[in-house]
Structure 1
Amino acid sequence: MNSDIVYFPIHEHLDSSHLGQFIGHEGINIYKIEKENGVTLDICKNEEENSIVRLTGPYWNLKCALNDVVELVTKIRNNNQRYKFKIPPKDVGFLIGKNGAKINEVKLSSNVDVHFDRSEKPEKPDGEQEEDTDVFVTGNYQTILTGLRLICDRLSSKGQQTLYDDPRTLQFAESLMESF
């Protein structure tokens, strides 16, 4: 039986930083596509040094394997969406919390990744205020919404005392009892 070759320009659909997720731990994703479809899958570079997926095998097997490749790329893209917003530099420390406790709580509670752009900003003439800090939240659509809500709640609570600040209060004890 003849083997055909199909090329899929993965660089057009997936950022190169996510190529490792496509390959999978110890190549598990490639192995799975190869075994389920009876094809050979290689990742190579074209003349412009862009990543290309090369599938080799019987025609109908290639069609199924290509479908699996596109499905995997879509899944990776959906799980790696990125939302960017800006906050004033004075709020960055409050959002992060002591030793990163508050931002880690947001990350763990919503299953997102949060990064701050700390690159050097050019100085502004005439003593203007510093530029806002870029904040990037990465995850899937639902986790990003949850993370943004937690970040918004944290920022809106600035300057307000919460019942968790002093665990000796009656409100803290009532809140604790309600959670049981």
Structure 2
Amino acid sequence: MDSGVIESGLNVTLTIRLLMHGKEVGSIIGKKGESVKKMREESGARINISEGNCPERIITLAGPTTAIFKAFSMIIEKLEEDISSSMTNSTATSKPPVTLRIVVPASQCGSLIGKGGCKIKEIRESTGAQVQVAGDMLPNSTERAITIAGTPQSIIECVKQICVVMLESPPKGVTIPYRPKPSGSPVIFAGGQAYAVQGQHAIPQPDLTKLHQLAMQQSPFPIAPSNQGFTGIDASAQTSSHEITISNDLIGCVIGRQGAKINEIRQMSGAQIKIANPVDGSSDRQVTITGSPASISLAEYLINARLSTEATGLAAN
């Protein structure tokens, strides 16, 4: 399939997923949703924005190619406008390029990069945009982010060429889409209560407190004595196992230096956590969590908090 298919606007249905920061999304939604409403009406594309209260959001554009690229152009123009307006009060002399991230199934990235990087080099040269394919998959997904920077026109042209490659090489296997998680606030436990640390404040977390208390009464590691006066539950009657898969690239942030992080999670949750050895040809590791339902839930929460912290570049080793 050549780029003429997209240029001539044949009725090929496409989906483009954009990964954006909350501030950028706010600008695209506009006051009372007016901006995104206008984009939907003028382009004819379906524009869906993932749930709020996350540092990152996914904007999904779906529809025929002509509608998609009309909507995409309007989003780029909005981002360009924001850069221009931020420059008015700035002392910077050179205008930064528009930068955008699209999310694609990892199984299509090989075709996009090409043998020895020839395809991505061709796209960079013919469009003038800077294109970078992330080496790692996004947390808990089989998708990778592609960062594109340049002038609005070069970005639009670049995404058109990426779409052509993706139409020619459909994804292989099952794609697990990336779903941004709410910002992983550090959690502390004190006096039988759980608190999320947000800036200078510790905010009580009743749901986590309950999980923590249930896990602690069955834990071989009594960390903080609970002041709730539990009489104890027969843990063996409700022990179960739960498996999760974590990318090899991210397992290190869960294990920590010399196993410090995983031991901390074991102690805090009271669950047993086993990490399988790497399997040849697999980019994932199997993690088995065993314990009471409450301790499994708490262990999984703490592991996900580590992964989301790593994803936002805040993880401390």
TM range (shorter): 0.3 to 0.5
| Larger helix percent | 1
